[in-house]
Amino acid sequence: MKLVFATNNLNKLKEVQEMLPNSIQLLSLKDINCFDEVEETETTLEGNAKLKADYITKKFGYHCFADDTGLEVESLNGKPGVYSARYAGEPANAENNMLKLLTALKNKENRKAQFRTAICLNLDHKQFIFEGVCKGEILTEKQGNKGFGYDPIFKPQGFTESFAQMNSNDKNKVSHRGLAIQQLVEFLSNYKK
């Protein structure tokens, strides 16, 4: 089965490729010659995932899935949430985003947070939604140099390391995206037209 992952984020693409079975050929937007920037204009993660998946399916005709991820910090009323990638403004920059978040949490004791990923799959003219949640906390400073985005300052519940200190196999087992992709893979493995 050929399946397009509607992302330009090469880190995400690599992470997902490692998790999919060999029976699924994962195509990137570049593979299908899509260089369009689909604006994430919805106010929910699910809405943005649908927007991207629908755009690719309608314009290119491929089975497609798209995701959107947000970091939701309890003491900031769920912010940055759907605006996580652009939290510190444009151009989107992980260093600036982390700095802004650490500054916002400077005097806060409650550092509880969760990463949430919503995936929208368009397959055979039907739409399916999957969600993964990883609870944890925001560290007071960056730790580790693996991963991407907020990984150096997010420590998942039950672990002593940040996402940026974990190897990709361990991270994929517990991460928000990993959990959502596991649901997607399980669904695809059992899917009958």
Tell me, yes or no, if 151 is annotated catalytic. no
DSSP 85: G
Residues in contact with 157: Cβ distance below 8 Å, sequence separation at least 6, in sequence order:
134, 135, 136, 137
What is the C-alpha separation between 34 and 8, in angstroms, rounded? 10
> In a 3-state reduction of DSSP, which class is residue 50?
helix
- The active-site residue, picked from 36, 67, 68, 124, is 68
What dihedral do alpha carbons 69, 105, 164, 3 form, nearest 10°?
0
Our CA angle for 71, 141, 119, nearest 5°, is 20
Cα→Cα distances 47→15, 18, 52, Å:
22, 26, 9
Supply the residues annotated as catalytic: 68
